[in-house]
Structure 1
Amino acid sequence: MPSDTARHVELRGKTYYLRMRVPNEFADVEPLREINRSLKTRDLVVAEARCANVRLALFNEWRARRAGRAADTRATFDASVDLLKAWGMTFSPMDELITGPVNDLLSRIEAIANVDPLSPAVPAALGAIELPDMTLHEMAQRMPILKANDIRAKNARQRREWCGNFKRAARDFIAQIGERTILTISEQDATDYEAHWKKLAEPGGVTTNYANKQIRYVRQMIDAHYDDIRMPKSRRNNVFKGLGVGKLIYADDERKKLPLPETWVRNRLINDRILEGLEQESSDIAIIAATGGCRASEIYDVPESDIHLDHPIPHIRFRVVLDGPDRRELKSKASTRVLVLQGPALAAMRRNPTGFPGHRGKAKFSGPVNKFLRENGLFPPLPEGEDGRYVISGTRHSFEDRMKAAGIKNEERAFLMGHSIGRVRGRPVYGSELDLPLRALLQEMVAYDGDGWSPRPIADLWEEVDRLLEEKGHRLR
């Protein structure tokens, strides 16, 4: 008498069987209309457990058959790996099974002894299925899918730039080495590609930082493919591991951005508001960034909810936003911080109380601003003997120069600029971050006059810092 047929378990004599109709979706790969299979037990509880496992294996086998019929290497591999998992096995290439422990190979042969020879379980168990592979160009296209969690907080601009890094690296590799798939890139290919970037990084070429990024992007795509096909760590061989371009000790390797002169920042950018000739929002973004030493993207990407103009200490909060139309990612964990708004920066933010929707999530600030300043001769002249050039992001370096001149220590400078304190100290960071009152005092030391407000003398501000710290119970003397 059959038991609960909803569980697909049926008692025949003294033995339980699985009995189930083949779903219509698999009718094209399974000729039988109904599956009847002995569960080899007289115990109902055991039968129900085995029934669940057998049904899972059947569904995996049908998917594998369909994938094989579609001749899709990737789909075939995924379905076969899932099928092996249901059998309690993992995939191993045939050459490894042949040269590996004999007992492993014999156990696999025994497991498939009573299986339909046409079942995908047979080549899967014996390692005779082809590993999925793809070109670097295809891998670059796939990276946003594989790293979806990593780039969840990126807005449209940040995502586009991130994707562009891998696409460019794939193009460069193909141009120098030729078309390759991930699993066919040889150690010689990797060595030749490293040599290409070493040559370019010689004086007058690209920076070592740029060269190492291009090598790293290829290495990351190879690792991502290994993760994607679930290759065990012990069988991975990323030929780019450990490769890179060392810094040239005899060359000024990294093209550092020149700090813009203080007089130009104060008189031209802030007081004269020369960028209003281009656009109001761009001018205000530049003023706030210059006053607070921020990256411009930190300003123009800030959502309205992180602007606090009515607070006793007006400020902007820089944080990662994971969801919604205003999602944003910061450069690093240390970039999560608060920017106190004072003088010209406060006035500029009050002109834009909801933020900068014309720039938020877009890439239309630095390029147009630098072009406008350069074409109109608005950048200051370079110092004698300097062969570089100014860019608007140099105001961040100007801010650090002001902090040094004000006697602000390295750790406090890192706090204000969003640098890693652990890297500055050379050890992990313990203790709480500066709170708003202390941050406001430090920023006031390097603030500009404006909007009817003037910063207090630096000596007075240091006294106020000491007073606040002593109020918190710190012993300073």
Structure 2
Amino acid sequence: MGRRREEQDPDRFLRLRGDHFHYYRRVPKEVGDLDRRGAFVRRALGTADRKKARTARDLNEAADNALWASLMLGENPQAARVRYDQAIKRAESLGFVYRPLAEILTAEPLENILQRFENTISEPAKSPVVDAVAGMVERPDDKISDALKLYFSEIVCDELRTKSPDQRKRWKAKRQMSVDVFIELVEDKSMSKITREDALKVHKYWLDRVAPEKGAGDRSASTGNRNIANLRSLYADYFRHLGFPEQKNPFADLSFSDKSKRSRPPFPTAWIKDKILAPGALKNLNDQARGIVLAFVETGCRPSEIANLYDGVIHLEHDVPHISVEPREDPEDPREIKTASSVRKVPLVGVALEVFKKHPNGFPRYKDREAQLSAAVNKHFKKHNLFPTENHTFYSLRHSFEDRMKNARLDEELRRMLMGHTIDRPKYGEGGEMKMWQEELMKIALPFDPAIV
């Protein structure tokens, strides 16, 4: 209880000497023999302002906590990182930016160097203050596998916070694969020792997959670009996290031309009517997968967007029944939407409206399970010959929806809005009344037998 009260005290570790504040703190017994400063830590904070003193106290407190954690870790591999973080915080507490000694001598003006010297003149030759102010603590040099763990646990943890478990899993897996390829081709190398030659070796590996000297490649240019970009981002974010944003990136300016990028072919409208919407065509699919396929036909929403709808965003009671595609901001059950432009409302017409009348609470079987949904639907379509060609996939229905809107001469801006594509102008209002959107979509609604739902 005593320690808890101490942590809640806004003036903990502060003492007034005259009219100026000092930082005064007892060294924990666990590290009493390891901390060379003695039983107590004392430091003048150089201010009579209580608010500034509390800020300086926070920095000193964080630095000491990190130092003592480092001492208790002993030779643990994480100790170097803790010592480095502690040095950065302690330098900040004294009004300096932490820099390695060589960088201080070459990059800082003489006046700054003298100020650093004055702040350490009364300190023992080997002390946390001297190490921090004089840049004597080596920055950690993680191997790329450990850097990726740090990337996930600290550097991008705020970005991962808004992803659902499945989104998080897939996001991590893509970056893990990029690092695994690097390790297989080069080695599990320290980040500071990665060279341009190493990066070129990885680039050559993907080049041979994307554009081999003979025959067609087994990977697309976008796959190669994505993997190089994962390594480039990891490298840049890692050194930015350490306080070295200027570190030259060996993966910079390496990419593959994607001029021959191919789009998935759309399903012909007649094929959708005669094959996919035919009675019995989807009867062997479970009812939720079948509902998603049918809703996909008349909304064009991405399968993942439909699979993750829930009762709070399915609005059947409105004058214009519609669904709202939006991020799920529940901290216990978050989910991101692909892009800002993907947040939208889509009126329900035709077979899609009937589907949501049957599934007013959405499709919980496939919530956060897009991979299982795609596998089930693609397997069914192949088995029952519902693909016009080998190049078609389940996702091709989205391209069909867009083509049907074009052929019906729906306004381009409305098409972009309904597809969740970017509109190249400032957004004003909703872009029109929902009733008008409904009337436009009715122009392309396909006939269906209610029994298929």
TM-score (norm 1): 0.80
Match of 1:204 in 2: 216
* Gapped regions of structure 1 (runs ≥ 5): 383-387, 453-477
Question: Contact 1:157–1:361 at 8 Å: present in 2 too?
Answer: yes
Amino acid at match of 1:401: D
Question: CA-to-partner distance for each residue in 1:331-381, whole Å, 9 max, x for gaps?
Answer: 11111111211121111111111111100011311112112221x232244
Are residues 239 and 304 of structure 1, via their aligned partners in 2, closer, same or farther at CA, if it must alter by over 3 Å?
A: same
Aligned to 1:9, which of 9, 12, 15? Answer: 15
- Count residues in correspondence: 430
Shift of the alpha carbon at 1:434?
A: 3.2
Are residues 435 and 199 of structure 1, via their aligned partners in 2, closer, same or farther at CA, if it must alter by over 3 Å?
A: farther
Determine helix, strand or coil for the equivalent of 1:338: strand
Aligned to 1:351, which of 342, 349, 358? Answer: 358
Question: Contact 1:194–1:243 at 8 Å: present in 2 too?
Answer: yes
Shift of the alpha carbon at 1:154?
A: 1.6
Question: Contact 1:16–1:40 at 8 Å: present in 2 too?
Answer: yes
Structure 1 residue 215 corresponds to structure 2 residue 228: yes
Match of 1:315 in 2: 322
Match of 1:35 in 2: 40
Structure 1 residue 243 corresponds to structure 2 residue 247: no
Are residues 40 and 247 of structure 1, via their aligned partners in 2, closer, same or farther at CA, if it must alter by over 3 Å?
A: closer
Are residues 113 and 207 of structure 1, via their aligned partners in 2, closer, same or farther at CA, if it must alter by over 3 Å?
A: same
Match of 1:281 in 2: 288
Greater mean deviation of Cα atoms: 138-147 or 165-174 = 138-147
Trace 1:59-458 onto structure 2 (pairs within 5 A). 60-61=63-64, 63-68=66-71, 70-71=74-75, 72-100=79-107, 101-145=109-153, 146-202=155-211, 204-205=216-217, 206-231=219-244, 233=245, 235-248=246-259, 253-324=260-331, 326-362=333-369, 363-374=371-382, 376-382=383-389, 388-422=390-424, 428-429=426-427, 432-450=430-448
Determine helix, strand or coil for the equivalent of 2:304: helix
Amino acid at match of 1:148: C
Shift of the alpha carbon at 1:260?
A: 1.8
| Partners of 2:379 and 2:45 in 1: CA distance | 79
Are residues 58 and 31 of structure 1, via their aligned partners in 2, closer, same or farther at CA, if it must alter by over 3 Å?
A: farther
Determine helix, strand or coil for the equivalent of 2:40: strand
Question: Contact 1:290–1:399 at 8 Å: present in 2 too?
Answer: yes
Match of 2:8 in 1: none
Shift of the alpha carbon at 1:404?
A: 1.8
| Partners of 1:334 and 1:25 in 2: CA distance | 55
Question: CA-to-partner distance for each residue in 1:77-112, whole Å, 9 max, x for gaps?
Answer: 111111111111111122222333444333323321
Amino acid at match of 1:290: V
Determine helix, strand or coil for the equivalent of 1:355: coil
Determine helix, strand or coil for the equivalent of 1:150: helix
Amino acid at match of 1:408: L
Determine helix, strand or coil for the equivalent of 1:244: coil
Question: Contact 1:98–1:105 at 8 Å: present in 2 too?
Answer: yes
Question: Contact 2:13–2:25 at 8 Å: present in 1 too?
Answer: no
| Partners of 1:306 and 1:292 in 2: CA distance | 15
Larger radius of gyration: 1
Amino acid at match of 1:207: S
Shift of the alpha carbon at 1:142?
A: 3.3
Amino acid at match of 2:216: G
Determine helix, strand or coil for the equivalent of 2:160: coil
* Gapped regions of structure 2 (runs ≥ 5): 1-10
| Partners of 2:252 and 2:123 in 1: CA distance | 42
| Partners of 1:381 and 1:49 in 2: CA distance | 71
Determine helix, strand or coil for the equivalent of 2:121: coil
Question: Contact 1:94–1:127 at 8 Å: present in 2 too?
Answer: yes
Shift of the alpha carbon at 1:29?
A: 4.0
Are residues 31 and 127 of structure 1, via their aligned partners in 2, closer, same or farther at CA, if it must alter by over 3 Å?
A: closer
Determine helix, strand or coil for the equivalent of 1:358: helix
| Partners of 2:65 and 2:331 in 1: CA distance | 39
Query: Over the residues paired in the alignment, what is the CA RMSD in angstroms?
Result: 3.2
Shift of the alpha carbon at 1:167?
A: 0.5
| Partners of 1:15 and 1:88 in 2: CA distance | 17
Shift of the alpha carbon at 1:272?
A: 2.2
Match of 1:455 in 2: none
Shift of the alpha carbon at 1:226?
A: 2.0
| Partners of 2:51 and 2:30 in 1: CA distance | 24
TM-score (norm 2): 0.84
Shift of the alpha carbon at 1:215?
A: 0.9
Question: Contact 1:10–1:19 at 8 Å: present in 2 too?
Answer: no
Shift of the alpha carbon at 1:402?
A: 1.0
Question: CA-to-partner distance for each residue in 1:93-151, whole Å, 9 max, x for gaps?
Answer: 22222333444333323321111233122222222212123233233333333222223
